[in-house]
Amino acid sequence: MRILNPFIAVLALIAVALVAAQVPGGQVLVGIILPYLAFALFLGGVVYRVLQWAKSPVPFRIPTTCGQANSLPWIKQNKIDCPSTKLGVIARMFLEVFLFRSLFRNTKAEMHDGPKLVYGSSKFLWLFAILFHYCFLVIVLRHMRLFMDPVPGFVSALEFGDGFLQIGAPVFYQTDAIFLGAIAFLFLRRVTLSNIRYISLPADYFPLFLIFGIAFTGILMRYFLRVDVVAIKQLTHGLATFSPAITGQIGSIFFIHVFLICALMIYFPFSKLMHMAGIFMSPTRNMINNSRMVRHINPWNDPNIKPHSYAGYEDEFREFMKEGGIPVEKE
């Protein structure tokens, strides 16, 4: 049911979009009103979540460390995995955000005869995760040509590089195929590995099905089903310039595609997908590990409350401790 329910939910979204595209006023609702509403909720939700994280106090240095800290001069420090300077933190964050460094260093554990626990490299997850995210980025940037006139040069260059194989007509984009393959791998990994399947929730499957639906409808619309590209360009450019209009017979598949995108945008700020912004706000990643060089005092400490040692605590409550059967150091 953890897999079936999210799948049914995505099918229900597709059915709603299909019906809305056929009823009077439905295309305006899905093609104009909903995109503005979804973008507002997406932007507002992301800002709200980031502000909530920013207001959370972090009184102590709690960075996750995977290497030698800065200590004695003759002991080599790992300046990226255990940074003691702002430059080290910037390097660590850069590698994490753009290259998924911690995922690259991921290992897998397996039980062998003996019993013996064996650790090994696990690079496939890193490879398909980075393919998924970068293909997603390229696809989003490519779609900017629909919203801008004239089209920026970097978008045209990106589109040319993505379709340089020029297989058939229309141009075949490599990222489309790679993106679907990456989604398939991430899904199959969750359902085939028993330990991953055990901890997976509907919230893990729903975005995968939703993103797959977006990619699949986009591919259908580009390579297999006929749509009015000129009318789509007029609508999307009108959305960007706040003068949208639906002209001609665009095609129901376009409205299904847009409806699923809007659903993803609305869902995004309130889901695990917010790790996109959360990585920048994580104190385990963005803090300097300089606890050996700087004394950090908890700002929550009440200056009127003096430190209370155990010896003082026992002197104050010794008789009560003895009555309760709690052992004491001094009789």
The DSSP result for 261-329, as a single string, is HHHHHHHGGGSGGGHHHHHHH-HHHHS---TTTS----TT--TTSPP--HHHHHHHHHHHHHHTT---S
Q: What is the pLDDT of residue 57?
A: 80
In this structure, which CATH number among 1.20.950.20, 3.30.360.10, 1.20.1440.230, 2.160.10.10 belongs to the domain 4-299?
Answer: 1.20.950.20
Q: Which of 102-111, 118-127, 142-151, 255-264 has the highest mean pLDDT?
A: 255-264
Show the tokens assigned to 308: 């209370």
CA neighbor of 214 nearest in space, from 140, 160, 304: 140
Strands (E), 74-231: 107-112, 116-121
d(CA 104, CA 281): 21
d(CA 327, CA 108): 45
Query: Are the beta carbons of 107 and 119 closer than 8 angstroms?
Result: yes
d(CA 312, CA 303): 18
Residue type, 174: Q
Relative to beta strand 116-121, strand 107-112 is antiparallel
Strands (E), 92-218: 107-112, 116-121
pTM for this one?
Answer: 0.84
Is 178 a residue whose pLDDT tops 70?
A: yes
Q: Where are the domains of the chain?
A: 4-299, 301-331
Work out the pLDDT band at 246, boundaries 50, 70, 90: confident
The fraction of the chain above a pLDDT of 70, given in percent, is: 99
d(CA 319, CA 116): 52
CA neighbor of 103 nearest in space, from 126, 124, 81, 82: 126
